[in-house]
Amino acid sequence: MAISSKARPYLLILAVVLVVVGVVVARLPGQTDGSAVATSTSPTPTTPPGIGGDGAGDPYYATDGNTGYDVDRYDVAISYDPATKKLDGKATITAKATEDLTRFNLDLHKLTVSEVRVGDQSAKFSQEGEHELVITPAATLAANQPFTVVVAYAGEPQAFDDKALGTSGWQISASGGAFAAGEPHSATAWFPANDTPKDKAKFTLAARVPNGWSVISNGREGASASADGWTTFNWTEDTPLATYLATVAIDKWQFERSELPGGTKIVNAYAPGAEGKKAQQNKLPEILAFLSEKFGPYPFDEAGGIYLSDNIGFSLETQTRPIYAQWADLETVVHENAHQWFGDSVSVSTWADICLNECFASYSQWLWAEAKEGANLDDRYRAEIEKRKDNDGYWGNKLYDMGRGNEFRGVYDKGILALHALRRQIGDPAFDQVLKGWTSQHKDGNATWPEFEQHVEKIAGQDLKGFFAAWFRGDQRPSDEYLLPGTLRR
């Protein structure tokens, strides 16, 4: 995810002010008050045997996701009328029980369920709390048993309004259409899911909209079909994705389709008023070729971009096809496509690991400037260090295990400096090996920040505990030993 450059100074000023009064809180555009955000971790829910847990154990979002099963695929079918803002949906979820289950949960946000079937039998269900869909199948699901869940639901999808992270999920576009994007929450605003990045799954969408509207989503474009004044658009992503990386965008799109030399298909979509972004998006083949040199082969079969005419506060790396706010520039395109490796192909295990996504996508902007614009990154680094030398608020942003609500406070700026310092600490050959080895070893999976530290130490042949403690785990300006390694020390 990239945050609007206009929002970043706002966040920094707010943080400094609140530190003065003894409260630390991060806010993004869309937040309506300044309530404090707790930074302590949440306890992991415990459940009796045979009952799937109503939380996947994330330290910051204890009730996100569920346990007791592993999802293989989401097949989602929706009908949406922009005139009424009403959605009707049916989701077929293919999964496997990881323990004997007499009951399990899905996550669904403010939509009303009318029917649930497990296999070929009706199942009892209830909707509890803000997002728990509690399902009791007619018979116990045995451990390792594959099963399907079919959920019928309807309503007017609602956005998530988080006091720390702003507005995300389902939003109405300037044209009257709609789109779904956000982090860490988005998917469950429009379909039921196991809403944790740890349970990645394949995804298929059939979206039916009135004629005149069109739909873009993740992955491979299928044939569309029209009947009775409505058109159904079909999209399939067969590489497992984390749920927050699924998107649907409904508008009067102008599509452009092309293909890379290796066969990767590109689909770009421009909302009315966003056509001026075409020249920028035409750089995508060059961007993907550059990033492939740095990170290894592009990890998906599809690529492209979704350009809104809406000035939301973020752009997002929705898998294979990032979604861009009106303000998005070429650096943003580099950033979001770097996420296809760091964040999408290799996903976090918990939200405490978010630097694995954002620090690397942000540093890719510097790599691009170095290669394409001749930027001297050591000079740029020193200038940033000098500018920030007395800024305690800046250095106080931890990059690992930063606390709930603080996930996006340091990763876009301090994270860049930290990775450049790491590059100079271990040298370019080792740094290149670190990047390509990481994306290869964890392709299509999940990983943690401590695993990354071990990965770097093994390749570099160095004890880097002090370095990582100073830059990523610490909340103070690093000592000169770690601040100015290698060629950074003049």
CATH of the domain at 478: 1.10.390.10
**pLDDT for the residue numbered 50:** 87
- Under the banding of pLDDT at 50, 70 and 90, the label for residue 17 is very low
Whether the Cβ atoms of residue 367 and residue 294 lie closer than 8 Å to each other: yes
Give DSSP secondary structure letters for 453-464: HHHHHHHHTS--
Strand order in the sheet with 214-217: 159-162, 166-172, 178-181, 248-251, 214-217
Which H/E stretch holds residue 149? strand 146-155
Q: Is the model's pLDDT at 240 over the cut of 80?
A: yes
Number of domains in the chain: 2
Residue 31 pLDDT exceeds 50 = no
Share of the chain above pLDDT 90, in %: 87
The arithmetic mean of pLDDT across residues 162-182, rounded, is 91
Q: 222 and 78 in one domain?
A: yes
**Higher local confidence (pLDDT), 390 or 195:** 195
- Condensed to tens digits (0 to 9), the pLDDT of residues 203-216 reads 999 999 999 999 99
Q: Is the pLDDT of residue 6 over 50?
A: no
Which positions ≥6 away from 454 have C-beta within 8 Å?
none
Q: Quick one: 359 and 315 in the same domain?
A: no
Q: Which amino acid is at 419?
A: L
- Whether 229 is in a domain gets the answer yes
- Asked if residue 173 and residue 100 are part of one domain, the reply reads yes
The answer to whether residue 4 sits within a structural domain is: no
Q: Which DSSP string corresponds to 2-29?
A: EE-TTHHHHHHHHHHHHHHTT------T
**pLDDT beyond 80 at 44:** no
DSSP state of 384: H
State mean pLDDT over 284-291: 98
pLDDT digits (tens, 9 = 90+) for 421-462: 999 999 999 999 999 999 999 999 999 999 999 999 999 999
pTM above 0.85, yes or no: yes
Q: Which of 340, 362, 393 is the last residue of a domain?
A: 340
pLDDT of residue 46: 59
- Alpha-carbon distance of 234 to 245, in angstroms, equals 17
pLDDT of residue 5: 56
Domain check: are 260 and 403 in the same one? no
Give the three-class secondary structure for 91. strand
The angle, 0 to 180 degrees and rounded to 10, between the axes of the packed helices 449-460 and 355-373 is 50
Cα–Cα separations (whole angstroms), residue 333 to 235, 256, 279: 22, 17, 12
**144-158 per-position pLDDT tens digit:** 999 999 999 999 999
Same domain assignment for residues 164 and 283: yes
Residues 256 and 276 placed together within one structural domain of the fold: yes
Residues 168, 249, 271: CA angle, nearest 5 degrees: 110
Is 60 exceeded by the pLDDT of residue 253?
yes
Sign of CA dihedral 164, 165, 170, 173: positive
Give yes or no for a contact between 204 and 75, defined as CB atoms under 8 angstroms apart.
yes
pLDDT of residue 166: 80
Residues 360 and 322 in one domain: no
| Residue 320 and residue 395 in one domain | no
User: Is 249 in contact with 272 (CB distance < 8 Å)?
Assistant: no
Kind and range of the H or E element at 420? helix 414-426
The model's confidence at residue 55, banded by pLDDT at 50, 70 and 90, is very high
Q: At what angle do helices 355-373 and 284-295 cross, to 10 degrees?
A: 110
Confidence of residue 490 (pLDDT cuts 50, 70, 90): confident
Q: What DSSP designation does 71 have? A: E
Do 298 and 353 lie in one domain? The reply is no
Inside any domain, residue 44: no
Q: Are residues 277 and 142 located together in one domain of the fold?
A: yes
User: Domain holding 88: CATH number?
Assistant: 2.60.40.1730
Write down how long the chain is.
Answer: 490
∠ at Cα 245 (242, 246), nearest 5°? 100
- Which distant-in-sequence residues (6+ apart) come within 8 Å of 288 by Cβ? 260, 264, 298, 303, 337
Which tens digits make up the pLDDT trace of 97-133? 999 999 999 999 999 999 999 999 999 999 999 999 9
Q: Does pLDDT of 349 surpass 90? A: yes
12 pLDDT above the threshold of 80: no
Indicate if 374 and 325 belong to the same structural domain: no
Q: Which of 340, 372, 401 is the last residue of a domain?
A: 340
Residue 317 lies in a domain: yes
Q: What does the DSSP 8-state code read for residue 129?
A: T
pLDDT tens-digit map of 321-336: 999 999 999 999 999 9
Under the banding of pLDDT at 50, 70 and 90, the label for residue 47 is low
Whether cis (ω within 30° of 0) applies to the bond prior to 184 is: yes
- Whether 299 and 398 map to the same domain: the answer is no
- Parallel, antiparallel or unpaired: strands 214-217 and 248-251: antiparallel
The range of the structural domain enclosing residue 439 comes to 349-488
Residue 192 near residue 91 (C-beta atoms within 8 A): yes
pLDDT tops 50 at residue 21: no
Is there a domain that residue 3 lies in?
no
